[in-house]
């Protein structure tokens, strides 16, 4: 298996590739690198590799999605285990803006030495409040007895106001059913 370690060459190649992509994208996986000494249970850090890794993340303007439910994602499963944070998910800036409510959590680790991660990509774009009448509702035995009283409740002196109130009342009653 070939692992591409961060170098000045890989940074240069990454920057050239990214310059051609102007949409949402993410990078996820096992990077086999820690970003600082706190991400390794024995406190060891390959300083040069960590600096290159962090420089690459910075140069690509990547935003790491935080994993909040555990510190480490890998274990060597020895009697005195070494634990490390090797698995990560990064968004580019446009992906981060498009999906600001995204989150990362861990799943149970049945057999692998890596913890599976679950990325929930989410946004705050509001859902439509458009009401759509379905013709099939007319065939339901409870529909008319539910909406007819609501239609009558909306009546007033002003015809336009009466229509708007009646439609709004019917909409609310129909949504309940």
- 92-126 tens-digit pLDDT: 988 998 899 999 999 998 788 999 999 999 877 66
List of the chain residues with pLDDT < 50: 1-2
Verify that 21 and 80 share a domain, yes or no: yes
What pLDDT does 1 receive? 42
How remote is the C-alpha of 136 from its chain's centroid? 36
Give the domain extent around 36: 8-120
Identify whether 155 is part of a domain: yes
What pLDDT does 11 receive? 65
Rounded to two decimals, the pTM is: 0.64
Number of domains in the chain: 2
Sign of CA dihedral 30, 35, 38, 41: positive
Which residues are 90's β-sheet partners? Answer: 27, 64
Number of other residues whose CB lies within 10 A of the CB of residue 44: 11
Verify that 35 and 80 share a domain, yes or no: yes
């Amino acid at each position: 298996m070939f692992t591409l370690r961060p170098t000045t060459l890989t940074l240069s190649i990454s920057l050239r590739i990214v310059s051609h992509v102007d949409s949402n994208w993410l990078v996820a996986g096992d990077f086999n690198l820690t970003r600082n000494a706190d991400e390794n249970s024995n406190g060891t850090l390959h300083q040069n590799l960590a600096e290159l890794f962090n420089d690459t993340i910075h140069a690509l303007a990547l935003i790491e999605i935080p994993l909040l439910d555990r510190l480490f994602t890998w274990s060597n499963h020895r009697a005195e285990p070494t634990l490390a944070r090797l698995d990560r998910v990064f968004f580019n800036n446009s992906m981060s803006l498009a999906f600001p409510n995204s989150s990362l959590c861990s799943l149970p680790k049945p057999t692998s030495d890596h913890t599976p991660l679950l990325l929930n990509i989410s946004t705050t774009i509001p859902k439509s409040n458009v009401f759509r009448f379905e013709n099939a509702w007319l065939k339901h035995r409870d529909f008319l007895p539910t909406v007819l009283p609501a239609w009558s409740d909306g009546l007033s002196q002003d015809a336009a106001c009466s229509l708007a109130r009646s439609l709004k009342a019917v909409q609310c009653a129909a949504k309940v059913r």
